[in-house]
Amino acid sequence: MAGKILGTTVYYDADCNLSKLEGKKITVLGFGSQGHAHALNLKENGFDVTIGLRKGSNRWAKAEEQGLPVKETAEAVKDADIVMVLIPDELQADVYAADIAPNLKQGAYLAFAHGFNIHFGKIVPREDVNVFMVAPKGPGHLVRRTYQEGSGVPCLYAVEKDPSGDTEEVALAWASGVGGGRSGILETNFKSETETDLFGEQAVLCGGVTELIKTGFEVLTEAGYEPVNAYFECLHEMKLIVDLIYEGGFGKMRHSISNTAEYGDYYAGPRVITADTKKAMEEILRRIQSGEFADEFLADSKAGQPFLKKNREAAAEHGIEKVGSELRGLMSWLK
């Protein structure tokens, strides 16, 4: 039954009314990481799911192979009661203006897996449209796999607009239908989900972690150590440590490592991540909150992604990637 975790309301399958999706025409736009997982999990729950894609999309055949009807985006929106937008964030506003808004039924539900476009005002739906979010806290492939195994990835859900009065129930039914109610569906709002998601991926998970690994690798190799050792110590073992933290917090990890490692952890950590690092993180958060990051990212996308492409190419050329691709060849279990 519904409960509270640290002040946040959590719902489980028993609290969700799946019949809120019965008899409704559901359209999922996009069949990528999130799209395939939401669509297939809901279809296996017996719901009426159609996929909307661009004409000529290479995902078209993939969706049909899985037994899902596919239409072009505008057509797929036309008779839908619920439209879940699972196309890349940077394309959503243009697709909304061109294909979704002119075709969206009166009183329809418009849904997202990330609050970006609604929160930053890039999509402003009509007054009659209900708006909710179901954001699984994991990549789509995990959402699909755990569902098939009988569990599910926890989801955040939020309601932004509720002219029909039952949007929360529809959102909870959706979250339950994709498997979230097997582990927990947590209430949030568009602002909090959007800003914390962007901050996490920038400062810690993606930006923070890769830069930390890369800098450690550079320090060792520039000091003359073998690239193989540098790779193992700075990248490969990251997973072993993170798995322990994931399972049991810092305590479990520190219990498993040697006293030497634990001493070094307390001694060196604050010298690497300093008060200046914290200030830099606060500035990153400020740029997210003000919308400067969103505008910068969307402008890059509109210009053909010069920043993204330049950095993607440079990252692929870094020594750690070359060393990694050779070393991983030794690790048969990674294939």
Q: Which does 86 bind (CB under 5 to 8 A by kind): Mg ion, ligand NAD, none?
A: ligand NAD
Nearer to Mg ion, 91 or 257 (CB): 91
Residues ≥6 apart with Cβ < 8 Å to 190: 115, 118, 119, 133, 158, 160
Known catalytic residue at 114: yes
Which amino acid does the sequence have at 77? V
Q: Which does 194 bind (CB under 5 to 8 A by kind): Mg ion, ligand NAD, none?
A: none
Which amino acid does the sequence have at 1? M
**Residue among 24, 25, 59, 236 that touches ligand NAD (CB under 6 A):** 59
Question: Under the criterion CB under 6 A, does residue 69 sit at the interface with ligand NAD?
Answer: no
**Residue among 46, 107, 121, 139 that touches ligand NAD (CB under 6 A):** 139
Q: Which does 210 bind (CB under 5 to 8 A by kind): ligand NAD, Mg ion, none?
A: none
DSSP string, 240-295: HHHHHHHHHHHHHHHHHS-HHHHHHHHHHHHHHS-HHHHHHHHHHHHHHHTTHHHH
**Residue among 99, 160, 187, 197 that touches Mg ion (CB under 5 A):** 197
- Number of residues binding to Mg ion, judged by CB under 5 A: 2
CA distance 296 to 29: 25
Q: Is 10 helix (H, G, I), strand (E, B) or coil?
A: strand
The pattern of x and - marking residues 11 through 40 that bind ligand NAD according to CB under 6 A reads: ------------------xxxxxxx-----
Nearer to Mg ion, 90 or 197 (CB): 197
140 is in an annotated binding site: yes
Whether the CB-CB separation of 83 and 104 falls below 8 Å is answered with yes
Q: Which does 91 bind (CB under 5 to 8 A by kind): ligand NAD, Mg ion, none?
A: ligand NAD
CA distance 2 to 10: 6
Question: Under the criterion CB under 5 A, does residue 90 sit at the interface with Mg ion?
Answer: no
Question: Under the criterion CB under 6 A, does residue 91 sit at the interface with ligand NAD?
Answer: yes
DSSP string, 185-229: EEE--HHHHHHHHHHIIIIIITHHHHHHHHHHHHHHHHTT--HHH
Q: Which of 71, 82, 105, 78 is nearest to 21 (CA)?
A: 82
Residues of each annotated binding site for Mg(2+): 197, 201, 233, 237
Which residues of this chain interact with ligand NAD, rule CB under 6 A? 29-35, 52-54, 57, 59, 73, 86-89, 91, 95, 113-114, 135-136, 139-140
